[in-house]
Amino acid sequence: MTSDTVTIGSRGSALALWQAHWVQAELKREFPALRTTIEIIKTTGDRILDSPLSMIGDRGLFTREIEEALLEHRIDLAVHSLKDLPTELPDGLCLGATCVREDVRDVFIPHSGNPRRLLLEQLPGARIATGSLRRRSQLLHLRPDFEIIDIRGNLNTRMSKLEESAWAGMILARAGVVRLGWEKAIGESIPADVLLPAVGQGALGIEIRKGDKETLALVSPLGHIPTTQATVAERALLRRLGGGCQVPIGTFARMEKGSPFQLHLDAVVGSLDGRRLVRGKIHGDPAGAEAIGGKLAETLLAGGADRILRDIRAGSGAHEPA
């Protein structure tokens, strides 16, 4: 970068560009003289749309090509949905800031012809679309009668697919739906204690090169300490479990009032058919967020999550795309 220009790397979807423009606006607010440009970079996950995410790889599906551009100095920073960013970053890169988090919950979006707005009030055998193994596992645990449909694509594509289908509805992250102005389509915001979200869901991560003090100084004011502490715990848990899009792991960390404030972390690991779920929770000093995540991961592993994860990785927990 030059002293007054920064290049932001982003995927090209409407949501990714919303996020990049949000960061661009925040940088402009903090540094009015700064000039910024956005470079759109297509990732593996953007190119392969005819296969479930769990079947096309596990790490960096939506980040790898952007990270390569960052390492090659073609961009100065990268804006990611934090849930897409692997817990282990490439050598030479780091998280420069984690921005304030949007609502972490998932939402149920019913078909326009479906009068039942609430997820668990759907008829027996209802067809529910989602691209997430995490949601699949928890949904089938709650409602084994549901038929889960695998769905890919950006928000507009998914909305079109829903309307053209005979599905009861689909499940998406609330943050993206709200950011793109689709709130009226929401039938229900699903409580996090019913459907635990993905690691980092609702948060934006700004990735930079290690040692790039100039860019770090620019993005640091965009960081949000409570979100950073919460997502550090979640990512530490995922790192210890060795999870990714091929493993159904849900977790949610948040600050709760106390004397002093405490970081509370809930998590679940489930089999792909939803028959086996291992849950756990922990709380502690936010300053020890990483240790909290690691400790809860160990508790889950000791409680049976190790067997679930072994079975999934061995292929016995795999499912055929619906």
CB 297 within 8 A of CB 240: yes
Q: Which residues contact 172 (CB under 8 A, 6 or more apart)?
A: 106, 107, 109, 130, 155, 158
Q: Which residues contact 316 (CB under 8 A, 6 or more apart)?
A: none
Helix (H, G, I), strand (E, B) or coil at 232: helix
Active site annotation includes 84: yes
Question: What are the distances in angstroms from CA 261 to CA 237, 264, 269?
Answer: 20, 10, 27
CB 268 within 8 A of CB 241: no
Helix (H, G, I), strand (E, B) or coil at 156: helix
Cα distance from N-terminal residue to C-terminal residue, the chain: 46
Residue with tokens 């540094």: 31
| Catalytic entry in 84, 106, 150, 266 | 84
CB 227 within 8 A of CB 100: yes
CB 223 within 8 A of CB 143: no
Helices (H), ranges, the chain: 14-30, 44-47, 64-71, 133-142, 155-163, 174-179, 213-219, 225-241, 289-300, 306-314
Neighbours of 217 (CB within 10 A): 11
Neighbours of 68 (CB within 10 A): 16
CB 109 within 8 A of CB 161: no
Name the residues annotated as catalytic: 84
